[in-house]
Amino acid sequence: MNGKMKAVQITEPGKFQVASIDIPKPQHGEVLAEIKSVAICGSDPNILNGKVLKNGWPPYYPFVAGHEFAACVIELGEAVTTLKVGDRVAGEAHCGCGTCEMCMQGYYNLCLNYGNSTAGHHHYGHNTSGCYAQYQVYDQKALTLLPDNVSYDEGALVDTAGTAYNALKLTGVEPGGYTAVIGPGPMGLMSMALAKTMSSKTIVIGRRERLQVAKKLGADYIIDFEKVDDPVEEVRKLTDGLGAHQVIECAGNATAYFEAVQMTRKHGHVALISIPGGDGQEMALKSMIMNQITLHGVRANPNCSKSVLDLISQGGLDIKSLITHIYSIDKIHDAFDTFINRKDGAVKVIIHPND
């Protein structure tokens, strides 16, 4: 397929625009996909603003970001064996080389060839061009077939849901026990919903509109940290003084890291999904040691897409309720303004590049 396409290009930190660029060609093991739906991720504004340049995101300008998407395969490169033209797919950000020690163990999110595209590694929307475009090329390893009854918009949330699911796989879920979630953003809400499907009671700690969204989506208990003296004590009151079996941290600040450990029961588990930006966790580390708490760092969503898609398809996970706004690609600035400033109760904002 030849010609031009619309794509959102970051031209310099803080500046982005819809531009007309060449449609890329799929190479060995790649497919060309028509992007149907893109979900804005919480990391995208930082990539757009140049706040994560120290990570190499983006690696150059102009750059096309975006990594939460669903698409239709329209062209195959050489040696593509797992997909065919017309397949509906959901994508992942991480695509490992497939041959290093971590990839061979299934942890392609921890690929030892990170950043080496020659070796076959891609981190789409971060160090490899992403999905804020009408078309994009992807390695077949990064795509999972959508069940017939799962929409493209739902498919665009699989990356978020997969990361939440990865956290719960790492911590485990005690049926009938308690899962506490700090931060009711899209990731926290997804973690809560998944924990409920695994027969866990759920406690969500947050504030304002998104905390009420958590309640509407089925959280058993909500704690507004602006209205209580000590969220940790509130969690312990709800759990017979013992603390939660597993705590999923999705807030991304030092207070949340500290409180996540403090509200976990002895021999419990903590999963940190957000990326820390500061210091000062000495007290939390001491509590971890004294109470034999297992701490899990959570990076992306390896081998989770199929399970999440099956849950959605079978009715076990409702993610449609998280979609609050939909925009065309030409309204990308309005879309980011809505997402960043949480206008009109925004949770997940979807872009339709080909509308």
The predicted pLDDT at position 281 comes to: 58
Q: In the block, which residue shows the tokens 């007309």? A: 20
pTM of the full structure: 0.92
Q: Report which DSSP code applies to 58.
A: S
Closest CA to 26 of 59, 71, 73: 73
Backbone φ and ψ of 35, nearest 5°? -75, 120
The predicted pLDDT at position 269 comes to: 96
How many angstroms separate the CA atoms of 30 and 91, rounded? 13
Backbone φ and ψ of 326, nearest 5°? -135, 135
How many angstroms separate the CA atoms of 273 and 254, rounded? 13
Residue count of the chain: 355
End-to-end CA distance of the chain: 19
How many angstroms separate the CA atoms of 347 and 329, rounded? 18
pLDDT in tens, the chain (355 residues): 899 999 999 999 999 999 999 999 999 999 999 999 999 999 999 999 999 998 899 999 999 999 999 999 999 999 999 999 999 999 999 999 999 999 999 999 999 999 999 999 999 999 999 999 999 999 999 999 999 999 999 999 999 999 999 999 999 999 999 999 999 999 999 999 999 999 999 999 999 999 999 999 999 999 999 999 999 999 999 999 999 999 999 998 889 989 999 999 999 999 999 877 655 556 676 776 677 788 898 999 999 999 999 999 999 999 999 999 999 999 999 999 999 999 999 999 999 999 8
Q: For 70-111, what is the HEC assignment? A: EEEEEEECCCCCCCCCCCEEEECCEECCCCCHHHHCCCHHHC
Is 79 exposed, middle or buried, given 0-12, 13-18 or 19+ CB atoms closer than 10 A?
exposed
Q: For 116-149, what is the HEC assignment? A: CHHHCCEEECCCECCCCECEEEEEHHHEEECCCC
> CB–CB of 257/272 below 8 Å?
yes
**Class for domain 4-157+319-352, per CATH?**
alpha beta
Q: In the block, which residue shows the tokens 């989770």? A: 304
- 161-297 belongs to CATH 3.20.20.140: no
How many angstroms separate the CA atoms of 83 and 91, rounded? 13
The predicted pLDDT at position 239 comes to: 98
The predicted pLDDT at position 294 comes to: 86
Longest dimension (CA), the chain: 64
| Residues 6 or more apart in contact with residue 292 via CB below 8 angstroms | 266, 267
Within 13 Å and on the Cβ side, how many CA atoms surround 339? 24
From edge to edge, which strands make up the β-sheet containing 4-12? Answer: 15-22, 4-12, 63-64
The distance of Cα 309 from the centroid of its chain, to the nearest Å, equals 14
Q: Where are the domains of the chain?
A: 4-157+319-352, 161-297
Closest CA to 309 of 136, 133, 157, 204: 157
Q: C-alpha angle 109/111/113, rounded to 5°?
A: 145
Q: Is 161-297 the same fold as 4-157+319-352?
A: no
